[in-house]
Structure 1
Amino acid sequence: MRLLLLLSALVGFAATQFGDCNPLKISGCPPDKGLTNSPYSVDFTKGTTDWASWTSIGTDSVLYTSQGAVLTINKKGEAPTIATNWYIFFGRVEVVMRAAPGTGIVSSVVLASDDGDEIDWEFLGGNNDEVQTNYFGKGNLTLYNRGGKTPVHDVQGTTHTYTIDWQMDQLTWSVDGNVVRTLKKEDALGGLNYPQTPMKLRIGSWAGGDPDNAPGTIAWAGGLTDYTKAPFTMYVEKVSVTNQNPAASYSYGDASGSWESIVLKKDDAAAAVGR
């Protein structure tokens, strides 16, 4: 299921990207701010957050308590979400969290780029013992065989660590340190659909089972959401990020969408990956 496509109706951002400018379709897009202080970590259980690194999206409030970042859906139309203000270019992301309960409620951890590359963790509130994984390249929706399912006990009541290890040639998803899925670059349409451009991290929950959604969306989410059973709460305790290619900013050197085209600016000078 295309997570960003479904979320776009709720929080008003473009279906295939985090920003408003897809550099494969529009020339002159501004550079993406990079994460320079890598590795980076934040402990939301301390009751405050790093506002220089994070933004709360939309009008839905996010609380920060001893339980972490508390993202709660109280009524129809809410989709509490936090996102980084910076991008990474390959690397590792760990999120320590508990998913939200509730039929039709979707908790998500998403890496996504300006040109439609995407890597997902998705949790359906009606299934307390499973997590789904997915990926997309350049917003390509012609195939729907990218998703995977992994049994994980009590994702709503027990804290687990969910990791994405995103490298140039291989992508792995891990739960509590155990690899549950591996994707090799060549297996993603010969590399064309392999996620390979700078990405932001977004964490949030939304009602895939909202009655206003398309029937297919509701079915995938597990059924209609009953808002009389709210609140539906997701808890995010800690986030750790390693940026494999730290830089002040990233820009697209051409419209190929390949990692080789990304230009890193590390102060006042541009550099290629690995320099």
Structure 2
Amino acid sequence: MVRYFVTAALAVLLSVTLVRADAPKCGPGSLCPASAPCCSQYGQCGVGAYCLGGCDPLFSHQLDSCVVAPVCKSADYTLKSLDDVMSIDKYLGDSSSINWVSQGQPVVYNNALLLTMAQDTVGTLLASTHYVWYGKISAKMTTSQGQGVVTAFIMMSDVKDEIDFEFIGVDIEHAQSNYYSQGVTNYHNEENLTVSNTVENVHEYTIDWQPDTLTWSIDGNVMRTLKRSDTWNATANRFDYPQTPSRIMLSLWPAGLSTNDIGTVNWAGGLINWNSPYMQNGYYYAMVQEVSLQCYDPPSGANITGKNSYVYNNEAGTNNTVAIVDETEILASFYATGENPSYNPNAVVSGSKSSAASAPTQSVETVPGMSGGGNRGGDPVSSASASAGEATGTASVAAGESAATGSAAAQATASGGFSQGGGNAAGSGASALKTEGRVLGGSVLAICVAVLGLLVI
């Protein structure tokens, strides 16, 4: 099957230089090298956080380059504080201690979390550390408002299966529902669901994802149902149905940037207004009160040899290539990978003293997408480039660069960032370059390929 691949310019972190021009890329027909084996959702190779949530095993150096994905854990997450949230540049894979990873600037307010988007930033993303392989997922939330502003609640797998609720800031009476299989763009997948004022009213949005059916519900009312049997793709000889372990993702991002594709801007209702009356305290915001998750049993016939993690055993990246194993992995440093999770170039040998002279000198990408929002059609993203001199959970950057953090001051400029929005529907205008491989479309385009454009030029 043909794969579409979008390239885009590389964004710049505030106070951070451009990523190394020789940073390896990954995507259709281009696997990551052994030296930077993990293919991030941004289409760039690295180590450390590149190998955690969002690491695409199909474009990585090998299937086990990505860290194993923690299995589903039923829970009710009342998001009243940041105690259960860790910035992506500090998380090394211990899902037993942290349930959410953040990019951007989440803020605690009135027993809830705000996903914020200040001027010249690209918003905020929360992603679960545990994966879901079928389950009932609900989020009680409000959305942001204004042209160019998009709020999203989605499920996203590492091989780009996707289930969406999206909210356009100029239409507060509808939720857009959508789905994709391995990023394959189908312009007919999107349906609008009617709902009362999404900004003023807290609604409960529910995705009930089963092996054979998928439903979207609002406040307990089923609004849409998809049958797996109706998604057969005779050309690809498989079902175009979301079917692989996915993370829960909640986000606020600026689709209406002048740097975005005109179709993306039009879909979002126009260019974003950074002096909008809908901004409070200097930022747009969406509120998330609670996320609840009921895990379902693995599908019939699943390959189960353990109970801790999901792994892929075949490059097809389909339902029958997922296995559940006992293996667990926590990275020893931001230079470790799924192939070598215990690697730490700064570990001190017992009885010796560490010194700058003994630190490795190589430079490698360790923390992808340190910005905070995204775009619908493949706009730029950032990556914190780090030398091997880090000794803590936060990768230290190469000489001349500043450490990236989750604070608003360190969010990327509005020219880029990670993405997590919905599909590239006909009106989105996200362009695509045909190349050998699978199709990467919609929000998947925005999520996974951003860094290549500038590097290729």
The bucket for the TM-score relative to the shorter chain is 0.7 to 0.9
Relative to structure 1, is the Cα distance of residues 8 and 90 closer, same or farther in structure 2, using a 3 angstrom cutoff?
farther
Name which of 224, 227, 239 aligns with 2:274: 227
On the 8 A contact 2:68/2:327 being kept in 1, the answer is: no
Gaps (5+ residues) in structure 2?
A: 1-5, 14-39, 44-51, 86-97, 299-306, 329-457
Instruction: Tell me how far 1:25 sits from its aligned partner.
Output: 6.8
Q: CA deviation at 1:235?
A: 0.1
Greater strand percent: which structure? Answer: 1
Q: Which residue of 1 aligns with 2:265?
A: 218
2:101 partner letter? T
- For residue 159 of structure 2, what is the aligned residue in structure 1? 115
The answer to whether 1:263 aligns with 2:323 is yes
Distance 1:8 1:179, change over 3 A: farther
The 1:128–1:61 alpha-carbon spacing in structure 2 relative to 1, beyond 3 Å, is same
Structure 1 match to 2:438: none
Q: CA deviation at 1:91?
A: 0.7
Higher mean C-alpha displacement, 74-83 vs 91-100: 74-83
Post-superposition CA distance 1:242-271 (Å, at most 9, x none): 222484111112122221221101469xxx
Does structure 1 residue 61 correspond to structure 2 residue 102? Answer: no
SS of equivalent to 1:226 = coil
TM-fit CA distance, 1:34: 2.0
3-state DSSP class of the match of 2:130?
A: coil
**Which secondary structure state, in structure 1, belongs to the residue aligned with residue 275 of structure 2?**
helix
Of stretches 75-84 and 185-194 in structure 1, the one that deviates more from structure 2 is 185-194
Partner of 2:168: 124
SS of residue in 2 equivalent to 1:242: strand
Deviation at 1:43, TM superposition (A): 0.6
Shift of 1:19: 2.1
Q: Which of 290, 294, 302 is matched with 1:242 structurally?
A: 294
Alpha-carbon separation, structure 2, partners of 1:134 and 1:9: 28
1:50 aligns with 2:58: no
Moved more, 26-35 or 65-74: 26-35
Q: What SS does structure 2 have at the residue aligned with 1:64? A: strand
Once the two structures are superposed, residues 165-208 of structure 1 have per-residue CA deviations (whole angstroms, 9 ceiling, x without a partner) of: 00000100000000001110022234521000000111010011
Secondary structure, counterpart of 1:164 in structure 2: strand
Cα distance in 2 for partners of 1:53, 1:125 equals: 28
Distance in 2 separating the partners of 1:124 and 1:226: 14
Given the two structures, how large is their TM-score scaled by the length of structure 2? 0.53
Establish whether residue 177 from structure 1 lines up as the match of residue 237 from structure 2: no
How far, CA to CA, are the matches of 2:144 and 2:212 in structure 1? 33
Percent identity over paired residues: 28
What is the aligned residue count?
258
Root-mean-square deviation (Å): 2.6
Deviation at 1:87, TM superposition (A): 0.8
Compute the displacement of 1:136 (Å): 0.4
Distance in 2, Cα, partners of 1:139 & 1:257? 12
- 1:88 deviates by 1.1
Q: How far, CA to CA, are the matches of 2:8 and 2:145 in structure 1?
A: 18
| Among candidates 230, 233, 251, match of residue 187 of structure 1 | 230
1:85 matched to which residue of 2? 129
Note if 1:40 corresponds to 2:86: no
Write the distance in 1 (CA, Å) between the matches of 2:262 and 2:118: 22
Structure 1 residues 110, 75: CA separation in 2 closer, same or farther (over 3 Å shift)?
A: same
2:150 partner letter: V
Change (3 A) 1:252 1:164: same
Letter in 2 for 1:22: P
User: Cα offset for 1:33?
Assistant: 2.4
C-alpha distance in 1 between matches for 2:249 and 2:187? 22
Instruction: Give, in angstroms, the shift of residue 89 of structure 1.
Output: 0.7
For 2:239 and 2:297, the matched residues in 1 are separated by: 21
Q: Secondary structure in 1 aligned to 2:265?
A: helix
Deviations along 1:112-150, whole A, 9 cap, x unmatched? 111110001000011111100100001112x21110101
Per the alignment, residue 14 of structure 1 pairs with 42
The answer on whether the counterparts of 2:207 and 2:215 sit within 8 Å (CA) in structure 1 is: yes
Give the TM-score, by structure 1 length: 0.85
2:141 aligned with 1:97, yes or no?
yes
Distance in 2 (alpha carbons) for counterparts of 1:183 and 1:94: 17
Distance 2:10 2:114 in 1: 23
Change (3 A) 1:176 1:138: same
